[in-house]
């Protein structure tokens, strides 16, 4: 059963319970064990409530949880059933895209920060506000009030994490989106069908930033799920700071990529949630306060950046798959 049609980040759609019940009935009628396929995504099924519905329905149908398999691209996924870790979809797409990913290394960008986001989430609103406050950024924030149920979930999390005053401030930023200071087509629509166009569409804007503040799809604790947002700065030869689940940079290290702790504090990768956002805001402040050294940093980082680009394009990460238990 493909879960992608029924769940998303923090959200379970109304038809999930019925579809899951129908699927479990089918498995019973055919004497087959259920396989729940989250590929190519890696949403946290605890955070969005899907796991509770799976448990409840399995109990009602007398299906042993041990006999259920979940296929997923979250490499810290930990459910009390069988788990198959699939290859990172977006990294794997690079070799099948028929694109010449050769990229010039730009040593003199115009802006310090880039922050390119679509679907709303609480952490994206906060980081969007922070990056814009530097007055030294290129940014997109496509969707606000017109994207339920994600808007409702975002507002709920803002109220959970922040004071009433701050939550209201962020809510108004959310509801007044889109906010863009670049000219680019809406690259979120049909994102799974539009690679590499959805990435190439903003390539020229990466030429004009120093560092990409990446807001990954899933930021729940202990969720490490790589999307095109993480690989964009690698393909376009930029350093990055990543808002994601705890251990996201650690996953990149295990796959053979390099990150940037020589130039700023990456202790934020030991954190999740509000603590991680706050730590990333401090990194943004640190980079902003040292902007006069930006071009020196660019030259110093060149070897790391070239390594990450090559590791993506030449698929060097493949040789590390077995260490993470990643299947074809």
Contact at 8 Å (CB) between 51 and 81? no
Give which of 80, 74, 130 is closest to 285, Cα–Cα: 130
What is the pLDDT at residue 14? 92
What is the pLDDT at residue 301? 95
Question: How far is Cα 315 from Cα 303, in angstroms, rounded to an integer?
Answer: 17
Contact at 8 Å (CB) between 286 and 264? yes
What lies within 8 Å, CB to CB, of 273 at 6+ separation is 161, 219, 221
Q: What would the mean pLDDT of 163-188 be, rounded to a whole number?
A: 86
More confident residue, 22 or 184: 22
What is the pLDDT at residue 185? 60
Tokens of 302: 């060149």
Q: What would the mean pLDDT of 290-308 be, rounded to a whole number?
A: 92
CA 55, 2, 121, 276 dihedral sign is positive
Question: How far is Cα 283 from Cα 57, in angstroms, rounded to an integer?
Answer: 44
Over residues 110-126, the pLDDT tens digits come to 999 999 998 899 999 99
What is the pLDDT at residue 188? 46
* Domain extents in the chain: 3-86, 93-327
> pLDDT tier at 193 (50, 70, 90 boundaries)?
very low
What lies within 8 Å, CB to CB, of 270 at 6+ separation is 246, 247
Q: What would the mean pLDDT of 235-256 be, rounded to a whole number?
A: 97
What lies within 8 Å, CB to CB, of 219 at 6+ separation is 121, 123, 243, 244, 245, 272, 273, 276
Give which of 293, 296, 268, 295 is closest to 282, Cα–Cα: 268
What is the overall mean pLDDT for the chain? Answer: 93
Question: How far is Cα 314 from Cα 316, in angstroms, rounded to an integer?
Answer: 6
pTM of the model: 0.94
């Amino acid at each position: 059963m493909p879960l992608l049609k029924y769940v998303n980040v923090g959200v379970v759609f109304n038809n999930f319970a019925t579809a899951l019940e129908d699927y479990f009935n089918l498995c019973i009628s055919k004497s087959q064990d259920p396989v729940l396929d989250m590929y190519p995504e890696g949403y946290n099924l605890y955070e969005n409530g899907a796991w509770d519905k799976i448990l409840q329905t399995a109990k009602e149908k007398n299906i042993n949880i041990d006999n259920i398999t979940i296929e997923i691209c979250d490499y810290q996924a930990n459910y009390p059933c069988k788990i198959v870790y699939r290859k990172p979809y977006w990294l794997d797409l690079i070799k099948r895209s028929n694109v010449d990913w050769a990229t010039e290394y730009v040593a003199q960008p115009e802006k310090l920060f880039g922050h390119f986001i679509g679907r709303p989430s609480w952490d994206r609103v906060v980081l969007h506000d922070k990056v814009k406050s530097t007055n030294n950024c290129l940014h997109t924030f496509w969707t606000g009030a017109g994207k339920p149920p994600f808007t409702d979930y975002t507002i709920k999390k803002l109220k959970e994490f922040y004071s009433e005053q701050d939550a209201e401030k962020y809510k108004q930023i959310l509801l007044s989106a889109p906010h863009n200071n670049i000219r680019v087509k809406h690259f979120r629509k049909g994102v799974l069908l539009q690679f590499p166009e959805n990435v190439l569409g903003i390539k020229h804007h990466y030429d004009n930033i120093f560092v990409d503040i990446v807001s990954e799809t899933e930021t729940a604790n202990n969720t490490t799920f790589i999307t095109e947002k993480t690989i964009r700065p690698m393909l376009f030869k930029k350093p990055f700071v990543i808002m994601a689940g705890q251990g996201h940079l650690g996953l990149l290290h295990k796959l053979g990529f390099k990150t940037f702790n020589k130039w700023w504090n990456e202790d934020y990768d030991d954190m999740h949630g509000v603590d991680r956002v706050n730590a990333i805001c401090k990194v943004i402040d640190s980079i902003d306060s040292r902007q006069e050294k930006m071009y020196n940093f660019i030259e110093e980082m060149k070897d790391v950046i070239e390594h990450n680009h090559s590791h993506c394009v030449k698929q060097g990460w493949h040789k590390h798959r077995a260490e993470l238990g990643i299947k074809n």
